[in-house]
């Protein structure tokens, strides 16, 4: 029986499949053929490849590729995926040649798999990486698949988004367009398994207990997953005292898990796996479309920051799209709501028809006018509308500082000072960490990115700062900077900062807006707009961590991934500060130590002061777009 993590992966990245007899696949099976074959790479390794080819031979057709570590199933030339009810249907209607490939070392492909295999510049014919495998695959396809027009595009979501980025680097002249979507970009700084060095243990453990299992020989099957002894994730992870104990449950056969533990800091090993470092190698003639979700719990960082890296380093035509979606939500939902928050539009359908399809149509078939596709197309939640910009962040952004006041208010005014020490205090107890969501869950939810934060505001170990009722709309468009001045009683601590939209007490959605069907009380809702964690010891350097001096006032300053949100007139802006976010983030023992090797006895309580006086005031730097 398929385990929970496998269901999660398949539901995100792989459309459900069916046999040729299914009604949904009738059109495809009568207009397409399916072939399965091996393509030989330059070192002799064979990669399993599935080709859906249109029967129509009245003209030549473009090739659209997806390289994946998640299986090109269903296997068997008589079995077709039920593509008709997915965004892929757009490309089938246009008679694209659709190519799927198991990447090196996964499922039916030969070779050894390596997580986020580093790129090797230079296209050395004696070495292989994901770019060279893409090059060799494209070269075979354009020379052996009949009826292709010698133009290739590549796209993918999440891990396949990483392969799309690596493919963009391959340098094959037939590759014209690449779309890394929710791309794995930097697994230490902000994607999936670490945020600012803090270990995102729940995502990492649930993923690698299945995905990371060794595959000695090609197979069509997923590895069996971990059998949890509790369906309450807070209880489960709290019962595992340390990361050493978590490693025991993982087992010793997951290679990447051991590597992750061996590299606790942002060293060369991690930096080599940061795809932003290679953006300058994207050829000028390869257009890129970077896509992401405003509320992506996994690769929100990657989408925003890969786009910025390409803008900074490459000379190609590069576009950005960010919608109000969870991870891959533009390909698996209508995008009309997320959790309790509603957006009032079928945002996913709009994106598919107005951005993604025209992008590939232009570069692969010379159709349409690419000038109509703006540089940045971004959905602003709160206002619930798409906006376009000639660059991102926009030129009109003005950064304005809001100060955390000792009385719990939040304002543009510098804090009052009369020589008295103004601080707010809380005690962080690693044995009673702040939960990331109010409800009891088994697997990490996607909805927590817009969850109601009232439950957290009621805890004594969460500081709350709130503006007066807004007299005008406040539009944020860009990264937020948290700038805290703190004194702690130990030598390390985490700092979680959350940006929250507080809805009016009488707020309710129109009945015409599609929601999740739950009658949740939205009056006074504290909508999480963006939250981020900073592991304090990395405040000065991610490669050279430093302890705190107990009792010494210290600055902890860090970027929070970009926000695109309008705080409407009549709402309030809230900031919450805390030092745990469990079990989303592993527990910091609050002692300067290698957390991957610490013992239960290393965990200590930490008294934390946030300075709110005029001297060294704590603040939030907001990217404000003028609404006029």
Cα(555)–Cα(34) distance, rounded to whole angstroms? 59
Which residue in this structure is represented by tokens 């069996």? 224
Residue range 473-483, pLDDT digits in tens: 999 999 999 99
Q: The tokens 């290739």 sit on which residue?
A: 152
CA gap 490, 284 in Å, rounded: 51
Segments of 313-415 assigned E as strands: 318-323, 337-338, 341-342, 376-380, 385-389, 397-404, 410-411
Point out which residues pair with 32 in neighbouring strands.
54
Query: What is the C-alpha separation between 391 and 206, in angstroms, rounded?
Result: 37
Give me the pLDDT at residue 12, please. Answer: 40
Q: What is the pLDDT of residues 281-320, one digit of tens each?
A: 999 999 999 999 999 999 999 999 999 999 999 999 999 9
Edge-to-edge strands of the sheet including 526-535? 463-466, 572-578, 494-502, 526-535
CA distances from 490 to 93, 550, 551, 588, 606 (A): 62, 5, 8, 11, 6
Q: How far apart are the first and last CA of the chain?
A: 56
Beta bridge partners of 250: none
Q: What residues are paired with 404 via a beta bridge? A: 410
Q: How far lies 370's CA from each of 236, 289, 319, in Å? A: 51, 12, 11
What pLDDT was estimated at residue 526? 98
Contact 590, 219 (CB under 8 A): no
The C-alpha atoms of residue 411 and residue 323 are separated, in whole angstroms, by 29
May I ask the CATH class of domain 4-186+273-389? alpha beta
Residues 338-359 as b or e (16 or more Cβ within 10 Å = b)? bbbbbbbbebbebbbeebbbbb
b vs e for 163-190, b when ≥16 Cβ sit within 10 Å of the residue's Cβ? bbbbbbbbbbebbbbbbbbbbbbbbbbb
Q: Are 490 and 591 in contact (CB under 8 A)?
A: yes
Q: DSSP 3-state assignment of 99? A: strand
Would you say 65 and 153 are in contact if contact means Cβ atoms under 8 Å apart?
yes
Q: Could you give the 3-state DSSP secondary structure of residue 301?
A: helix
Q: Which residues of the chain have pLDDT under 70?
A: 1-25, 123, 627-628
- Domain edges within the chain: 4-186+273-389, 397-625
Domain 397-625 falls in which CATH fold? Jelly Rolls (2.60.120)
Instruction: Evaluate whether 4-186+273-389 and 397-625 have a shared fold.
Output: no
The residue ranges of DSSP E strands in 446-553, in sequence order, are 463-466, 474-488, 494-502, 526-535
CB-count exposure of residue 204 (10 Å: 0-12, 13-18, 19+): buried
């Amino acid at each position: 029986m398929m385990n929970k993590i496998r269901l999660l992966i398949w539901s995100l990245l792989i459309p459900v499949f069916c046999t040729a007899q299914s009604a949904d696949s009738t059109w495809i099976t009568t207009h397409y053929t399916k072939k399965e074959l091996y393509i030989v790479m330059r070192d002799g390794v064979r990669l399993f490849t599935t080709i859906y080819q249109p029967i129509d031979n009245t003209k030549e057709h473009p090739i659209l590729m997806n390289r994946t570590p998640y299986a090109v199933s269903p296997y068997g030339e008589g079995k077709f995926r039920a593509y008709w009810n997915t965004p892929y249907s757009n490309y089938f209607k246009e008679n694209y040649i659709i190519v799927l490939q198991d990447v090196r070392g996964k499922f039916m492909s030969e070779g050894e798999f390596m997580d986020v295999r580093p790129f090797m510049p230079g296209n050395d014919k004696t070495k292989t990486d994901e770019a060279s495998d893409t090059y060799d695959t494209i070269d075979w396809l354009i020379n052996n698949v009949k009826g292709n027009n010698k133009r290739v595009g590549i796209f993918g979501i999440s891990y396949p988004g990483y392969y799309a980025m690596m493919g963009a680097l391959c340098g094959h002249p037939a590759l014209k367009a690449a779309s890394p979507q929710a791309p794995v970009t930097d697994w230490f700084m902000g994607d999936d398994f670490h945020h600012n060095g803090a270990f995102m243990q729940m995502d990492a453990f649930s993923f690698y207990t299945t995905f990371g299992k060794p595959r000695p020989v090609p197979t069509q099957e997923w590895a069996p997953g971990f059998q949890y002894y509790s369906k309450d994730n807070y209880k489960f992870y709290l019962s595992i005292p340390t990361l050493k104990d978590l490693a025991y449950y993982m087992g010793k056969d997951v290679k990447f898990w051991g590597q992750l533990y061996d590299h606790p800091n942002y060293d060369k090993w991690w930096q080599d796996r940061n795809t932003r470092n290679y953006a300058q190698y994207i050829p000028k003639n390869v257009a890129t479309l970077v896509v992401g979700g405003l509320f992506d719990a996994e690769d929100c960082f990657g989408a925003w920051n890969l786009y910025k890296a390409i803008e900074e380093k490459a000379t190609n035509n590069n576009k950005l799209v960010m919608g109000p979606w969870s991870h891959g939500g533009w390909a698996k939902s209508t995008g009309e709501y997320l959790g309790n928050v509603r957006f009032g539009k079928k945002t996913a359908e709009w994106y598919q028809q107005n951005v993604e399809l025209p992008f590939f149509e232009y570069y692969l078939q010379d159709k349409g006018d690419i000038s109509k596709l703006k540089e940045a197309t971004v959905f602003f939640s709160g206002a619930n509308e798409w906006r376009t910009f000639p660059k991102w962040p926009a030129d009109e952004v003005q950064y304005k500082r809001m100060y955390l006041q000792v009385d719990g208010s939040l304002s543009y005014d510098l804090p009052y000072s009369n020589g008295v020490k103004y601080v707010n205090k809380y005690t962080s107890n690693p044995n009673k960490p702040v939960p990331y969501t109010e409800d009891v869950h088994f697997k990490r939810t996607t909805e927590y990115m817009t969850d109601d934060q009232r439950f957290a505001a009621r805890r004594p170990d969460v500081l709350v700062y709130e503006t007066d009722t807004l007299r005008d709309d406040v539009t944020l468009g860009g990264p937020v900077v948290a700038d805290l001045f703190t004194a702690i009683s130990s030598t390390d601590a985490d700092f979680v900062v959350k940006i929250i939209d507080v809805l009016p007490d009488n707020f309710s959605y129109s009945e015409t807006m599609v929601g999740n069907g739950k009658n949740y009380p939205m009056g006074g809702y504290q909508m999480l707009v963006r939250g981020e964690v900073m592991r304090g010891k990395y405040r000065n350097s991610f490669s050279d961590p430093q302890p705190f001096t107990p009792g010494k006032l210290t600055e902890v300053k860090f970027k929070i991934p970009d926000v695109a949100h309008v705080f409407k007139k009549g709402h309030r802006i809230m900031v919450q500060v805390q030092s745990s976010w469990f079990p989303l983030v592993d527990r910091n023992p609050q002692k300067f130590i290698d957390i991957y090797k610490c013992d239960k006895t290393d965990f200590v309580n930490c008294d934390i002061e946030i300075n709110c006086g005029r001297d060294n005031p704590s603040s939030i730097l907001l990217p404000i777009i003028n609404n006029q």
